[in-house]
Structure formats: structure tokens, C-alpha cells
Amino acid sequence: MQEKKPALAALSTAAMLLNSLAPVANANPPDQKTSVDYRYTNYKEGALEPSKVAEGSTERYTIDIHQVKVKTPVAGDTELTFSGQFETLSGASPWYVLPNADGEAVQVMTGATIDESRAEAGLDFRSYNERSESTLSVSYSGENDYTSFGFGYGGQWRLNKNTSTLSWGLNGSKDYVDATDAELYPGRPTEETKNRLGGYLGFSQVMTKNRLVGITLGVSNLEGYLSDPYKLAWVAGDIIQDSRPTSQNNVNAALRWREFVPAANAALHVDIGYYSNDWEISSGTVDLAWYQNIASNWQVVPSLRYYNQSAAVFYQPFYNQDRADGFYSSDYRLSEFSAVSARLKVARTFDRFYLNFLYENYSASGDHPALLSFDLLSLGIGTDF
């Protein structure tokens, strides 16, 4: 074996040192560690104004959510991630809308408090190479009246000395709808199905040593039972089942900008999204966040989100006459509205674990009498070893 000359050996050592010190921005190689993350979230919807409720409770849903994620290395370039989620839900929900004596829309809520739960489990298998990676995902979600099986397969190619990344993905799900109390409420669906298939392409670029920008374009198609199994519509004095088209095509685009501000030791996040479907709903989202690092491993993250959507072509709060196409929905989620959400997160990193606390307040405005507001409190904790 030929002995290296001292100068060459020194250069080689320096190069190796530089490579080992150079963080791979825009990449996230397996760290050969096992990590465990847990998050508890309490979601509570605000009560409706009594003047907007014709019948039923003004109190809405409260949901407690437990999430856990465990990531563990399988080999030097592969890792497995298990994620689980369990939710308990209780409260009343909007049922249908009717006109009051003045012709104004007022909400009828479900009479009885609903108590139910949902469990979700997912498994991701990730394989990483120097220039690319891919992830295969499977998931399951189960409620007493709704079951969903999902899959996803996505990947990345890193180009131009890791300054550019091309990403892609395919995902889909098969859902089964079997509404409760269908024997008591004729028209409620049983043994219905819904299929979803989607895909996306993304590109991100290191613009400067403090700026990373990415754009994603996605399409998806939904086929099957797309109505809400529990909602009703008031049509010229009759109450009928929520009825929507059995197909929906969606297009969306997202732009994500990350800017590190060295003078402030902080990072600015700008996320902008656009969405459109063939029910003539289009929406825009702007989400701004400021990640402020402060002394002793503390971080404070104030953020603000604005969302606006147009109404579905067949949506009305109530119908004074029949529609030729037979589609009826008075669901507030298909109405035109805008929403503002303010969040504050405080995080602390310790030697072996992290802790963070998040609060969010969301408030929607528009013409529907049951538009949503909610408060969300969340506590996250995790460690790796």
C-alpha cells in the first residue's frame, strides 16, 4: 500500500473534516437513533349564538387527541416509523338549516350529545441513499361508522450538490361508510364506499445560505359517497338527506419559503396555498410564522393563518325550490367564508428531550349560521436515544 504524502494526507483530512461538518440542508439522512414523540391536544369548538340556533344545543364538539410516534433505524440507510392516534369526541353538531319567520337562515343542531372515538395507526418505511430516498406508507383509521385504509409512496431526488430537490408522491385510500341509527333515520347511508387517489410533484431550491424555497403541485380524485351521512337539507319545506356529486377532482399548489435572519437568530416561514375543485370551490391560504430562538434553548413561535374559500356550486343554506341536478347541501364547510387563526408556541429543548406547548384560536366569518370557531391547546414531548 502506497503511503500518502504528508501534504496530500493533510488535504484529504481537511476535506473529510469539512464534509463531516457540512450539514446537508434540504436533506434529512437517518440519524441511527430511536425517537419517541407524544402529543396531547384538546380541541374545543365555540358555542353558537342562541339567535342563530332554531333547535338543539348551542354547545359543539370537544375532542381529546393523543398522538404517538416512534421512529427506529432498521439498517444504516433505512428506518421505520410507527404513528398512532386516538381521539374521543363529544358534543352536538350542525344538522340542517331552515328559514325563520324573517326568512333568515337558522341552524338546527343534533338533539342528543354524540359520544364517539376514532383510532388511527400508520407505518412508514423509509429508504435513504446519498442522492435519493423513498417512503412507503400504509395507514388505517377506524370509527364505529367509518373505516379508512390508506397507502402512500413518495420519493425525493437531490440534485446540484444537494441544493435542489425534486419530490413526488402517490397516495390513495379506500373508505367505508356505515352510518349509525340508519334504521331510525331513513336515507342514512349504509355500506357506502369512497375512493381517493392523488399525486404530487414538488421542487425545492437552496436560494442563498439563509433561504430555502419550495413549490408543490398536486391533483386528486374522489369517487363514491361524498355526501355527509348525517347532514340534511331543507328543500321547499321538506327535509331531505345531504346529497352531493359522486365525483370530485381537486388541484392545489403550495409555496413554502424559509428565511433565516441571522441578526435576530430567527427563521421566517411563509406558506401560501391555492386550491380548486370541480364543485367550483376555490380557496387561498396564507400562513406566516416567526421562529424566534432565545437564550437557554428556548424558542417562541407566533404565527398567523388566513384562509378564504368560495362556495360549492350547489350549496345553499336552504332551498326554496328543487334543483334540476338533485344536489343539496347546507353544510357550513361548503359555504363561502374566511377564517383567521392565531397561534403561539413555546418550546424548550433539554439535553435528552424536548417539551413544547401550543395554543391556537380559530374564527371563521361568513353568512352561514354555524360557522366555526375553536380553541386548541396542545402539549408535545419527545426524546431520542
Among positions 106, 108, 141, 330, the unique one binding another protein when judged by CB under 8 A: 141
Assess contact for 356 and 37: CB atoms under 8 A. no
Shortest Cβ 170–another protein spacing (Å): 8
Among positions 126, 158, 196, 244, the unique one binding another protein when judged by CB under 8 A: 196
243 near another protein, rule: CB under 8 A: no
Complex with another protein: residue 14 or 236, whichever CB lies closer: 14
The dihedral region occupied by 255, where left means phi > 0, alpha psi between -120 and 50, and beta the remainder, is beta
159 near another protein, rule: CB under 8 A: no
Complex with another protein: residue 207 or 236, whichever CB lies closer: 207
Exposed e or buried b per residue across 287-309, where buried means at least 16 C-beta atoms within 10 angstroms of its C-beta: bebebeeeeeeebebebebebeb
166 near another protein, rule: CB under 8 A: no
Residue of 168, 157, 193 whose CA lies nearest to 178: 193
Among positions 26, 58, 127, 132, the unique one binding another protein when judged by CB under 8 A: 26
> Where is 203: in which H helix or E strand?
strand 192-208
Residue of 129, 20, 154 whose CA lies nearest to 77: 129
Residues between 269 and 288 that touch another protein (CB under 8 A): 270, 272-275, 277, 281-285
What's the CA gap between 113 and 53, in Å, rounded? 16
Complex with another protein: residue 143 or 223, whichever CB lies closer: 143
First to last CA, the chain: 39
Shortest Cβ 256–another protein spacing (Å): 5
- For residue 172, report the phi and psi dihedrals to the nearest 5 degrees: -160, 165
Residue 151's alpha-carbon distances to 74, 208, 216, in angstroms, are 21, 36, 20
| Span of 6-14, 125-133, 147-155, 318-326 interacting with another protein by CB under 8 A | 147-155
What's the CA gap between 23 and 45, in Å, rounded? 43
Q: Mark 313-332 with x for binding to another protein (rule: CB under 8 A) and - for no binding.
A: --------------------
52 near another protein, rule: CB under 8 A: no
11's CB contacts (< 8 A; 6+ apart) are: none
Residues between 198 and 237 that touch another protein (CB under 8 A): 198-200, 204-216, 218-220, 222, 228-231
19 near another protein, rule: CB under 8 A: yes
Residues between 331 and 360 that touch another protein (CB under 8 A): 333-334, 339, 345, 356, 358, 360
Shortest Cβ 33–another protein spacing (Å): 14
Complex with another protein: residue 98 or 345, whichever CB lies closer: 345
